[in-house]
Amino acid sequence: MLGTILLIVLILALLGALPAWPYSAGWGYYPSGGLGLILVIVLILVLMGRV
């Protein structure tokens, strides 16, 4: 249950970090790339049954 909630929160954070607004266009892929890496790590841990 905790893993599912964690995945949903990370997916929403990843979507929120995408550079969609004009002021965030200069950020590049750093915010979404970091959250994407965390999402992949958590997804692997959930699939292995660690979380």
What's the pLDDT tens digit per position in 1-50?
777 888 788 788 777 766 666 666 677 667 667 777 887 888 888 888 87
Show the domain range for 27.
7-48
Residue 23 placed within a domain: yes
Residue 12 placed within a domain: yes
Residue 36 placed within a domain: yes
In this prediction, residue 21 carries a pLDDT of 66
Residue 2 placed within a domain: no
- CA-CA distance, 1 to 27, in Å (whole number)? 34
In this prediction, residue 46 carries a pLDDT of 81
In this prediction, residue 49 carries a pLDDT of 82
Residue 1 placed within a domain: no
- CA-CA distance, 35 to 37, in Å (whole number)? 5
Q: How many separate domains does the chain show?
A: 1
In this prediction, residue 7 carries a pLDDT of 79
In this prediction, residue 51 carries a pLDDT of 63
